[in-house]
Every structure is written in C-alpha cells, then in structure tokens.
Amino acid sequence: MTLYIWYIIRATGTIAYILMYVTVLSGIYSQYAKKKKKKINNVLFLHEKLSDWTLILTIFHVSLLFLDSYDSLTWLEILIAFQTDYKPIGMATGIVGLYFLGFTMITSKAKKIIGHQVWKKLHGLNPYYMFW
C-alpha cells in the first residue's frame, strides 16, 4: 500500500507542476494576444480552469503526504518550510510554492472585490513561484 501511495503522491505533484507551467504559459500568451488585438476569451477560460485544477491536485498531493508511512510527516512539517528533516530544500520550495499559488488563487477569485488595478499588481507577483 505504501508504494502505491508514494506513486500517487509523486504523480499528483508532477501533474500539478505541469499544469501550473501550462497555466503560466496560457497567462503569458493571453497578454501577448491581447496586445495583438486577438480574442482571448478561450485562452483566459483555459488559464482559469487550469489554475483551478492545479490547486485541486496540489491540495490532493499535500493531503496524501499524511498517508505516506515512510516519513510520517506532521501538519507542521507539511505547512511550514524547513520544519522537516526529509529533503528540507525540496519540501520548503514546495511549501513556499503552495503559498504563492494560494495567494494568487485567492486574489484572483476576489478580483471583483479588490478591483482590477490591485489584482493586476498582486497577480504580477505570481511569476515568483515558478522559481520554486
């Protein structure tokens, strides 16, 4: 059972990362297409849905870490960077990336409340989690 969970944990993390990569590319392309006066409705729809699925898979990935009996991580180790001895750099970069993803998703869903200009500035911070 542990080996299957290990594979699912790795698969969900990898797929979430690939989806995030495509999400960022679709966001960059939408800005390029907008400047070229092309229709971007489909691209923006794709951008939003891919980001939703990225978040869902990431949450599933993090939740599965509790089922992995190899390292038996705690909430503290999973949600706070550098709290675990198990691959601390990799875990920390994933945790920080999760926070950037969550921040970007929350501000995007609250765009109507916070206003377009504030959202645009906050959304502009999101390339930083591509480094994680």
Measured CA to CA in angstroms, residue 46 lies from 22, 53, 90, 119 at distances of 9, 11, 29, 19
Counted domains in the chain: 1
Q: How many alpha carbons fall within 13 Å on the CB side of residue 15?
A: 16
pTM of the model: 0.84
Q: Which domain, by its residues, includes 85?
A: 2-131
Give me 79's structure tokens: 């949600």
pLDDT tens track of the chain, all 132 residues? Answer: 578 888 999 999 999 999 999 998 998 898 888 888 888 889 999 999 999 999 999 999 999 988 887 778 888 998 999 998 888 998 998 898 899 899 999 999 999 999 999 998 888 877 655 554
